[in-house]
């Protein structure tokens, strides 16, 4: 046996020792450093490809968009119109007479971490990447609101079909017909030439103009009053043009342009125009940012280094927080069973921040589900279900976090100039609910029966069971429940194979449309089958209006219509839980829109 053990050690130990056993020693804690913990890994640091808030925290600390939010103002009033402030641009954009052309002036003194000047081209080329079908990311639809974006996206898509030898003949012919005469000659192997032509084509079609190095003129395909706020998204962040374009290469087989992904991993390649540059990224473990001395606010910064630790287990995260190894901890979710106790016992450290988000149940409005008549297709049943839920009781004794209860879809006080309507069918009124249900033909002799589906993990089961009990007690309904793993759950919901389904929505930008567009009849996100042409018309009219008051009024009308038809049951607005060592960390300014300015955060070690 000793021989075997010896052999085993001989085979295993030397290669492992050569790899240092995979150890990554933690550097000593330095002063002037903010250490924060999150529960999820960085997915990508490519600004045009990310879709996660967690990635966004790091990216927006490295890449400064044209405009950004002031976290201090948002913390004081999330609906403050003045919270949007200039970033890489020297002022907020000016709007042209057509109502859809924005002009940004970039600060003449803005610099990249390697000393190069930040120019309008850095933005233009980064946005261009996000509009190439072969490089698009999940949020590219936001870039495609620029005039000509769709045309370029379609043009390049067709060229790619011509470049790919595997394209079926019928598709190939359709693609060829859709292209202008001059572009029908592309064939497999022409990838490089087609890429160069695509850049020209982008410049011809897409209305992002750079008359000089510091001016960026953007024309949108339609009026979008919240565009300046949208530009604060990381999707609109710049990339250092020379190095980023250098990292692009063309796949000779498919003609696809791909970016060398090590660009985003290597501190020497990934240039920053924001407060920090990348210093170290150990995948799935830790990421460190270090002060960018070329940042315009460098002299005002209050820390030199940011350390992000990935800690998935909330127990480990809490131990590390308690020991002071972590200053700010995002690893314990508000839905965790630890949350209510932490909030009760350590109110100064455990901070609940209202998220711009609504927890709700989707009600399927389709007449049939799975070949059987769908009882919740009846609007009276849908209203009754909502009115039978005692939301105050849910947040008091089920979630135990006292979230703000919801009677509308858009959360109140978060969107400048918008007051959501009070949903008259979304307040607790069990008598009226019973009456409605009786009117719909349900009662003791014909009890209402349906199924509620929700996803596993995330603490959805307890509220679901409490709500099922309310429906049974108040309405005599027989409700079965099914839980699905996330991937399958989204498919069940998207395929409308449910009667009542848990749902939730986080607003992206400060405009009612970020919520209400969800219920557009043909919307890809509308999983309820709710279809109302008047609702769609109100959205269209509001969307095209430049008068803020008129806009708000039209959106409120639309929301009222939707709430009255009740394709959803609003329940409460989410909380985010932050654990902050309040005695050492100042300037974090946590706010509902998750805007951050990490260079403003000061950490005083005890």
Partner 1 sequence: MLTLIARRLIQLPIILALVFSATFTLAWVLPGDPFRGADERQVDPAIEAAMRAQYNLDSPWSFLRSYTKELFTEADLGPSLKYRDRKVADILGEALPVSATLGAAAIGVALLIGTVAGVVGALKPGTALEAGSLGVALIGVSLPSFVTGTLLLAFAGVLATHAPAFALPIGGWTGPSAVLLPAIALGLTPAAYIARLLRLGLADLMHSDFVRTARAKGVSPNRALFGHALKVAYLPVLSFLGPAAASAMTGSFVIEQVFNIPGLGEHFVNAVLNKDQTLLLGIVLTYSTILVLFNLVVDVAYGWLDPRIELG
Q: Scan residues 510-549 and list those touching partner 1 (CB under 8 A).
A: 524-525
Residues that contact partner 1, how many (by CB under 8 A): 74
Distance CA 205, CA 291 (A): 39
Q: Which of 213, 402, 466, 506 binds partner 1 (CB under 8 A)?
A: 506
Distance CA 606, CA 252 (A): 58
Fill in the per-residue mask, 44 to 63: x = in contact with partner 1 (CB under 8 A), - = not in contact.
xxx--x-xx-----------
Q: Which of 236, 256, 361, 418 binds partner 1 (CB under 8 A)?
A: 256
Burial class (CB in 10 A: 0-12, 13-18, 19+), 329: buried
- List beta partners, residue 368: 373
Q: Which of 5, 10, 182, 348 binds partner 1 (CB under 8 A)?
A: 5
486 forms part of the interface with partner 1 (CB under 8 A): yes
CB count within 10 Å of CB 313 equals 10
Choose the stretch contacting partner 1; rule: CB under 8 A; options: 23-31, 80-88, 182-190, 560-568: 23-31
Q: Which of 14, 29, 30, 43 binds partner 1 (CB under 8 A)?
A: 43
72 forms part of the interface with partner 1 (CB under 8 A): no
Q: Which of 31, 284, 293, 447 binds partner 1 (CB under 8 A)?
A: 284
Provide, rounded to whole angstroms, the least separation between the CB of residue 25 and partner 1. Answer: 5
Distance CA 380, CA 566 (A): 9
Sequence-distant (≥ 6) Cβ neighbours of residue 412 within 8 angstroms? 404, 419, 420
* Helix/strand/coil for 3: helix
How far from 174 is each of 151, 156, 161, 403, CA to CA, in Å? 16, 14, 10, 53
User: DSSP assignment, residue 89?
Assistant: B
- List beta partners, residue 360: 503, 570
E strand or H helix at 59: helix 53-62
* Nearer to partner 1 (CB atom), residue 165 or residue 605: 165
Choose the stretch contacting partner 1; rule: CB under 8 A; options: 36-44, 78-86, 232-240, 380-388: 36-44
- List beta partners, residue 484: 455
Provide, rounded to whole angstroms, the least separation between the CB of residue 396 and partner 1. Answer: 26
456 forms part of the interface with partner 1 (CB under 8 A): no
Do 572 and 389 touch, CB atoms closer than 8 A? no
* Nearer to partner 1 (CB atom), residue 494 or residue 537: 494
Distance CA 283, CA 281 (A): 6
* Nearer to partner 1 (CB atom), residue 139 or residue 295: 139
* Nearer to partner 1 (CB atom), residue 89 or residue 239: 239
23 forms part of the interface with partner 1 (CB under 8 A): yes
Sequence-distant (≥ 6) Cβ neighbours of residue 565 within 8 angstroms? 365, 379, 382, 530, 532
243 forms part of the interface with partner 1 (CB under 8 A): no
222 forms part of the interface with partner 1 (CB under 8 A): no
Helix extents (H) in 293-441: 314-322, 339-345, 379-387, 391-393, 430-439
Do 278 and 62 touch, CB atoms closer than 8 A? yes
* Nearer to partner 1 (CB atom), residue 297 or residue 319: 319
Q: What count of residues does the chain have? A: 606
Provide, rounded to whole angstroms, the least separation between the CB of residue 284 and partner 1. Answer: 5
> Among 573, 572, 563, which Cα is nearest to 425's?
563
Question: CA angle 193-198-199, nearest 5°?
Answer: 105
Sites for partner 1 among residues 413-452 (CB under 8 A)? none
Choose the stretch contacting partner 1; rule: CB under 8 A; options: 69-77, 290-298, 319-327, 345-353: 319-327
Fill in the per-residue mask, 323 to 362: x = in contact with partner 1 (CB under 8 A), - = not in contact.
x-x-------------------------------------
Q: What are phi and psi of 514, to 5 degrees?
A: -65, -25
* Nearer to partner 1 (CB atom), residue 138 or residue 441: 138
Sites for partner 1 among residues 121-180 (CB under 8 A)? 133-138, 140-141, 144, 153, 157, 160, 166
Choose the stretch contacting partner 1; rule: CB under 8 A; options: 101-109, 191-199, 226-234, 311-319: 311-319
How far from 266 is each of 22, 308, 321, 537, CA to CA, in Å? 20, 17, 29, 49
Choose the stretch contacting partner 1; rule: CB under 8 A; options: 5-13, 225-233, 300-308, 442-450: 5-13
261 forms part of the interface with partner 1 (CB under 8 A): yes
E strand or H helix at 161: helix 149-163
Q: Which of 276, 418, 505, 519 binds partner 1 (CB under 8 A)?
A: 505
7 forms part of the interface with partner 1 (CB under 8 A): yes
* Nearer to partner 1 (CB atom), residue 4 or residue 182: 4
* Nearer to partner 1 (CB atom), residue 102 or residue 360: 360
Q: What are phi and psi of 34, to 5 degrees?
A: -100, 125
Provide, rounded to whole angstroms, the least separation between the CB of residue 255 and partner 1. Answer: 11
The token pair at 119 is 């120019």
Q: Which of 29, 30, 449, 494 binds partner 1 (CB under 8 A)?
A: 494
């Amino acid at each position: 046996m000793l021989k075997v053990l010896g052999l085993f050690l001989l085979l295993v130990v030397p290669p492992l020792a050569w790899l240092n056993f995979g150890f990554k020693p933690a550097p000593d804690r330095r002063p002037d450093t903010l250490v924060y913990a999150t529960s999820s890994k960085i997915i990508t640091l490519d600004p045009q490809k990310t879709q996660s808030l967690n990635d966004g925290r790091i990216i927006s600390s490295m890449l400064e968009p044209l405009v950004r939010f002031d976290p201090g103002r948002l913390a004081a009033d999330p609906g403050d119109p003045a919270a949007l402030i200039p970033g890489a641009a020297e002022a907020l954009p000016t709007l042209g007479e057509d109502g859809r052309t924005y002009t940004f002036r970039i600060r003449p003194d803005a610099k990249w971490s390697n000393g190069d000047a930040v120019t309008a081209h850095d933005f233009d080329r980064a946005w261009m990447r996000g509009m190439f079908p072969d490089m698009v990311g999940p949020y590219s639809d936001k870039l495609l609101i620029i005039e000509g974006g769709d045309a370029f996206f379609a043009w390049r898509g067709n060229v790619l079909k011509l470049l790919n030898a595997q394209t079926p003949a019928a598709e190939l012919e359709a693609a060829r017909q859709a292209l202008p005469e001059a572009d029908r000659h592309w064939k497999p192997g022409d990838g490089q030439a087609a890429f160069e032509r695509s850049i020209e084509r982008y410049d011809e079609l897409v209305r992002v103009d750079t008359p000089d190095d510091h001016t960026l003129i953007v024309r949108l395909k339609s009026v979008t009053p919240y565009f300046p706020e949208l530009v604060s998204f990381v999707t609109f962040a710049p990339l250092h043009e020379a190095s980023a374009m250098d990292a692009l290469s063309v796949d000779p087989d498919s003609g696809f342009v791909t970016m060398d992904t090590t660009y985003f991993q290597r501190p020497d390649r990934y240039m920053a125009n924001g407060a920090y540059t990348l210093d170290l990224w150990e995948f799935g473990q830790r990421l460190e940012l270090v002060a960018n001395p070329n940042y315009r606010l460098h002299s005002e910064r209050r820390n030199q280094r940011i350390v992000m630790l990935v800690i998935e287990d909330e127990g480990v995260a809490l131990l590390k927080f308690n020991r002071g190894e972590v200053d700010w901890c995002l690893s314990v979710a508000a839905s965790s069973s630890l949350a209510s106790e932490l909030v009760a016992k350590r109110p100064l450290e455990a901070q609940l921040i209202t998220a711009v988000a609504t927890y709700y149940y989707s009600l399927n409005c389709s007449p049939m589900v799975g070949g059987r008549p769908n009882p919740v297709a009846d609007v009276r049943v849908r209203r009754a279900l909502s009115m039978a839920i005692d939301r105050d009781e849910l947040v008091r004794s089920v979630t135990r976090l006292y979230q703000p209860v919801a009677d509308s879809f858009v959360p109140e006080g978060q969107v400048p100039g918008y007051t959501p309507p009070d949903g008259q069918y979304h307040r607790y009124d069990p008598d009226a609910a019973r009456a409605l249900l009786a009117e719909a033909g349900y009662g003791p002799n014909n009890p209402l029966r349906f199924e509620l589906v929700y996803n596993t993990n995330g603490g959805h089961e307890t509220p679901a069971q409490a709500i099922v009990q309310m429906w049974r007690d108040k309405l005599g309904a027989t409700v079965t429940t099914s839980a699905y793993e996330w991937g399958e759950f989204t498919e069940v919901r998207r395929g409308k194979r449910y009667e009542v389904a848990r749902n939730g929505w986080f607003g992206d930008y400060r405009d009612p449309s970020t919520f209400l567009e969800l219920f557009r009849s043909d919307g890809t996100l509308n999983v309820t089958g709710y279809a109302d042409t008047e609702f769609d018309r109100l959205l269209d009219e509001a969307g095209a209006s430049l008068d803020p008051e008129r806009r708000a009024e039209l959106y409120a009308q639309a929301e009222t219509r939707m709430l009255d038809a009740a394709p959803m049951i609003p329940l409460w607005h989410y909380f985010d839980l932050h654990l902050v060592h309040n005695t050492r960390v100042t300037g974090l300014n946590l706010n509902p829109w998750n805007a951050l300015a990490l260079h403003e955060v000061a950490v005083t070690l005890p």
